[in-house]
Structure 1
């Protein structure tokens, strides 16, 4: 059960772009990590200080020689530990491909982080740790 936060920068970030980015990340998780298709928990946020200071902004540079611009998208995924490095790399590639296909976001502007935790670190409602003793995604 991944929990996804997507922060998108740029003046053209509207509900349609946010939805497209959310679909891109979700579809990549389903394809590369085998996440169930109905397992979608996302927070999608647009940032554009030039048009609406209350919405915030994002900061970025050209670290490691990647030339990012105002179309940058930060994707933070929290999920339970256990995926191989190869599967994570496949996930990063697929997110970048689908973000470009669905939302027109250049792959160089897709910044992804994964944070892993254990089954006991999740409560999906009702004050219960539903994954404790379970083998679910």
Structure 2
């Protein structure tokens, strides 16, 4: 059930699709996500009305082929699994789109089962009576 957002600059639909599939394949291979469990928002910014900004943080030089991948998923994966995920995403993105691994920026945000609704205004995975994390009485 990971939710993935991919942002790039000046990317055509074929590259966007290849980026989305690369991330999905990496999630399946490294974390055991079911193949049909795909929730993605793929956005190509035009550089005029929407933009991406990047610097050379940690001495890693970026250019305008940068890809930002934001993954929201349920908590519980180990550091080793996440590291394997990052490596596999970078490798597959490079293999399928030619994007250098240095240009692949990945973030993971974790949450709990009650933090998901897949439609109908319901928290399908939440135990009955569960309160969202941080809920105030």
Indicate which of 18, 23, 26 corresponds to 2:24: 26
Q: Does 1:7 align with 2:1?
A: no
TM-score, normalising length from structure 2?
A: 0.90
Q: Structure 2: 5+ residue runs without aligned partners? A: 128-137
SS at match of 1:37: coil
Corresponding pairs, count: 127
2: distance between equivalents of 1:57 and 1:98?
24
SS at match of 1:111: strand
How far is the alpha carbon of 1:79 from its aligned partner?
Answer: 0.3
Q: Which residue of 2 aligns with 1:92?
A: 86
Supply the RMSD in Å over aligned alpha carbons: 0.8
1: distance between equivalents of 2:32 and 2:124?
19
2: distance between equivalents of 1:105 and 1:18?
12
Q: Which residue of 1 aligns with 2:63?
A: 69
1: distance between equivalents of 2:23 and 2:89?
5
Indicate which of 35, 47, 56 corresponds to 2:45: 47
1: distance between equivalents of 2:103 and 2:59?
12
